[in-house]
């Protein structure tokens, strides 16, 4: 026995169409936001007297697949990226801790990114 609630099929079609329309704009918005986070992290690393050379290791990876939009920002493993842990958190010996923690670089960008993502989603349903 099939139960159909009035309007569910139309609503499903609307959601599917919106998803297809929204995805390219969401992806482009995320790329802009991730690039801004990356640039901010590089500036913060370059400001360190001793760890500026590690700034070249800061990159981002696009982990998106299908309708999932996902990015990862941070230092690459291996030299010079391996030194970033000491640069940000210090070590048991004196030194390090002269680069702000990672959260500092995305906290300023997140409100802007959230606003643009919300605007993209709303436009997708108009």
| Residue 10 within a domain | no
| Residue 35 within a domain | yes
Total domains in the chain come to 1
Give the rounded distance of the alpha carbon of 10 from its chain centre.
33
- What's the whole-number average pLDDT of the chain? 87
| Residue 6 within a domain | no
pLDDT of residue 45: 92
| Residue 3 within a domain | no
pLDDT of residue 61: 95
Tell me the pTM: 0.81
pLDDT band at 3 (very low <50, low <70, confident <90, very high): low
pLDDT band at 4 (very low <50, low <70, confident <90, very high): low
Query: What is the domain range of residue 51?
Result: 22-124
| Residue 15 within a domain | no
pLDDT of residue 90: 84
| Residue 72 within a domain | yes
């Amino acid at each position: 026995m099939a139960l159909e609630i009035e309007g569910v099929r139309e609503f499903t079609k609307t959601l599917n169409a919106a998803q297809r329309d929204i995805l390219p704009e969401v992806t482009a918005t995320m790329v802009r936001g991730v690039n801004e986070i990356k640039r901010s992290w590089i500036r913060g690393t370059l400001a360190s007297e001793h760890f500026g050379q590690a700034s070249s290791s800061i990159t981002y990876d696009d982990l998106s697949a299908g309708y999932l939009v996902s990015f990862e920002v941070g230092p690459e493993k291996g030299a010079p990226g391996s030194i970033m842990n000491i640069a940000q958190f210090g070590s048991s010996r004196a030194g390090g801790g002269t680069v702000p923690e990672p959260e500092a670089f995305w906290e300023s960008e997140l409100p802007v990114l959230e606003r643009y993502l919300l605007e993209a989603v709303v436009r997708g349903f108009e």
